[in-house]
Structure 1
Amino acid sequence: MFDHVKFGVTDYAASKAFFLKALAPLGVTVASEGPPTYGVELCARGKASLCLFQTGEKPAHLHLAFTAETRQQVDAFYRAALAAGATDNGGPGLRPHYHANYYAAFVIGPDGHNLEVVCHVPDA
């Protein structure tokens, strides 16, 4: 759980487009936006936000985990992220070594960040 996470990206337009497409299954849209050096705030239903801004520096690797309400959202994120240009880092499925209902998918985004969407509830 987080209020917001803000990090730099090396190609603002490409990263913004990637995250909007990959996270669309979770209801993520643009909440606010300034110039690329300030960035964009992406949010779903007024909850925690993800903020991206343009930087010339290559950021360190980052792991971001987003909460899904259903396993179908995890599956949809994975398909959307791959279609948006992500690299597979672990397809949708149970990860029982975390807990019995940990259903997640992992991809590597445009700047090498490990992105995860996880659902913690049993399948309906």
Structure 2
Amino acid sequence: MIDHIGIKVADFERAKAFYDKALAPLGARLLMMVPVEYTGGVKVGGYGRERPVYWLHEGEGESEPKHVAFTANSRAEVDAFHEAALAAGARDNGAPGLRPHYHPDYYGAFVFDPDGNNVEAVCHRPD
């Protein structure tokens, strides 16, 4: 149902460095930077696998941290996301594991990104 989403980040380069590392295990990467002549001079970049779906907008950080969950193709990808995110400077918000209170095969991991957003990788498949 959602086509794409964007969040504001206080320090674009710091956020970019974090997401470059954290999303790599999920097969996602920075796919596009919007030319600054179209953004009023701020940095705007989109991450995805085949097309940009997760956008970072340079500017004052969000007043309320957001929650974003990225789809993983396997539990191993969830584990790798969590490890890469922590290595990139994230704070842990929930180690990889089953969350059966959502459904029996819900396997997720949670971290706080540099702006305090709750970022998750989740696999819904039995492994």
TM more than 0.5: yes
The number of aligned residues is 121
Which residues of structure 1 form unaligned runs of 5+? none
SS in 1 for 2:7: strand
Once residues 70 and 87 of structure 2 are traced to their aligned partners in structure 1, the CA distance between those partners, rounded to angstroms, is 18
Once residues 38 and 14 of structure 1 are traced to their aligned partners in structure 2, the CA distance between those partners, rounded to angstroms, is 12
Q: Determine whether 1:44 maps to 2:49.
A: yes
In the alignment, is the contact (CA less than 8 A) between 2:91 and 2:113 conserved in 1?
yes
Which residue, 92, 95, 98 being the options, matches 1:94? 98
Moved more, 58-67 or 31-40: 31-40
Once residues 27 and 33 of structure 1 are traced to their aligned partners in structure 2, the CA distance between those partners, rounded to angstroms, is 18
Which portions of structure 1, spanning 4 or more consecutive aligned residues, are displaced by more than 6 angstroms?
Answer: none
Q: Deviations over 1:84-110 (max 9, x none)?
A: 000000000000000000000000000
Aligned-residue CA RMSD (Å): 1.4
Once residues 67 and 58 of structure 1 are traced to their aligned partners in structure 2, the CA distance between those partners, rounded to angstroms, is 24
In the alignment, is the contact (CA less than 8 A) between 2:10 and 2:58 conserved in 1?
yes
Q: Determine whether 1:25 maps to 2:20.
A: no
Cα distance, 1:7 vs structure 2 = 1.1
What percentage of aligned pairs have identical amino acids? Answer: 50
Which residues of structure 2 form unaligned runs of 5+? none
Q: TM-score, normalised by structure 2?
A: 0.90
Counterpart code for 1:3: D
Once residues 3 and 31 of structure 1 are traced to their aligned partners in structure 2, the CA distance between those partners, rounded to angstroms, is 15
In the alignment, is the contact (CA less than 8 A) between 2:12 and 2:43 conserved in 1?
no
Q: Deviations over 1:100-123 (max 9, x none)?
A: 000000000000000000000001
Counterpart code for 2:69: A
